[in-house]
Amino acid sequence: MSPKVTFDLHATDGKARTGVISTPRGDIRTPAFMPVGTAATVKAMMPESVRSTGADILLGNTYHLMLRPTAERIDRLGGLHKFMNWERPILTDSGGFQVMSLAALRKLTEKGVTFKSHVDGSKHEITPERSMEIQKLLGSDIVMCFDECPALPATDEKVAESMRMSMRWAARSRDAFGDRPGHALFGIQQGGVTQELRAESAEKLREIEFDGYAVGGLAVGEGQDAMFGVLDYAPDMLPVNKPRYLMGVGKPDDIVGAVARGIDMMDCVLPSRSGRTGQAYTRHGVVNIKNARHIDDPRPLDENCSCPACRNYSRAYLSHVFRSNEMISGMLLTWHNLQYFQDIMAGMREAIAAGTFTSWQADFHAGREQGDV
């Protein structure tokens, strides 16, 4: 643990990096995957179970928590860590992405966004200053700048206009965040899939200076080829000695490809959301447990997995409880998926440290060629 937030790079293999982000609440081994704890819970999981999968840090959603139970109530109750019984690091997003995708009657101006809550229709406003205030009330360790992630498709001028406003909001976020030892503020690079705009955004963020840098504006429907095309150059535009966080990514092969291109941190709802819909990610591909082929199958999901679902239950059982809409179905498949995602991260950290990341990637891709297993 460290009184400040620091980032130490331990090894690189090609563009891939492994290291540690040290914070007062604990260390984050990178490359790191952050389970998403939207409404102060990683759905269907106890915090200690999330920790048992190897997660060092969780993500909390500012948009959801500001609406319910409100940041002020969480602050009065001792902050988000105490509230949700997770004492390790938490990164909170700024609310910018979700207000644009979830809220009703949104009005976006230079000042910020006014909107009506999707929960009860109440009126709210998020600005860079209000986002910093909310994230401070929540007590999160890593705070994200308030930005706009333009929906695709978007013209180059719309992407440029949006990015430049996000850079002005980044400066306002920096000013409002102030000086908070032990807490970090991350800037977010925008610019769509246009290299010149990405470079302009990175330059502006470097001028303002942040504790870490996110690659935003991706995983919004552009597809893996276009995303990797951006990641072939965008991370290199960011300071080499600071964490690089790719927001909202992704499937296992997205994650591996992002780490191979220099990304250190990622978050995605996929392992938990797909667990609730009967999809299990394994070393050999995706298991759709609702498929009839699993009804009498006595084997575990993945014989190499250490999670409770794989140690104690058969596919036949998982098929039964999914079909019966039993709560244990979402619990077991979520636990398995989170464990598998963390096993991928641990495998990459070890391979990068050993200089064997290229062969690790070959094994990873070979193992998954079977598709639906």
Ligand X SMILES: CNc1nc2cc(C(N)=O)ccc2[nH]1
* Residues taking part in catalysis: 93, 267
Q: Which does 219 bind (CB under 5 to 8 A by kind): ligand X, Zn ion, none?
A: ligand X
The values of phi and psi at residue 206, to 5°, are -65, -40
Of the candidate residues 37, 212, 217, 330, the single one contacting ligand X (CB under 6 A): 217
Of the candidate residues 66, 143, 149, 159, the single one contacting ligand X (CB under 6 A): 149
Q: What share of the chain is helix, strand, coil (3-state, %, to 5)?
A: 45, 20, 35
Q: Give yes or no for a contact between 96 and 126, defined as CB atoms under 8 angstroms apart.
A: yes
- What beta strand segments (E) does 156-307 contain? 184-189, 212-215, 244-246, 265-268, 279-282, 285-288
Question: Which residues, numbered 172-211, are part of the site for ligand X (CB under 6 A)?
Answer: 188
Round to whole Å and give the CA distance between 265 and 32.
5
336 binds Zn ion (CB under 5 A): yes
Q: Give yes or no for a contact between 274 and 301, defined as CB atoms under 8 angstroms apart.
A: no
219 binds ligand X (CB under 6 A): yes
Instruction: Report in angstroms how near the CB of residue 214 gets to ligand X at its nearest.
Output: 7
Question: Which residues, numbered 292-331, are part of the site for Zn ion (CB under 5 A)?
Answer: 305, 307, 309-310
Q: Which does 247 bind (CB under 5 to 8 A by kind): ligand X, Zn ion, none?
A: ligand X
Site size for ligand X (CB under 6 A): 12
Helix 252-260 and helix 327-354: axis angle, to 10°?
Answer: 20
Of the candidate residues 60, 248, 275, 278, the single one contacting ligand X (CB under 6 A): 248
Q: Which does 305 bind (CB under 5 to 8 A by kind): Zn ion, ligand X, none?
A: Zn ion
Query: Of 13-21, 53-61, 125-133, 216-224, which part binds ligand X (CB under 6 A)?
Result: 216-224
End-to-end CA distance of the chain: 42
Round to whole Å and give the CA distance between 88 and 167.
30
Q: Give yes or no for a contact between 171 and 208, defined as CB atoms under 8 angstroms apart.
A: yes
Of the candidate residues 13, 147, 200, 264, the single one contacting ligand X (CB under 6 A): 147
45 binds ligand X (CB under 6 A): no
Which residues in this chain contact Zn ion in the complex, by CB under 5 A?
305, 307, 309-310, 336
- What residues line the site for ligand X (CB under 6 A)? 96-97, 147, 149, 188, 216-220, 247-248
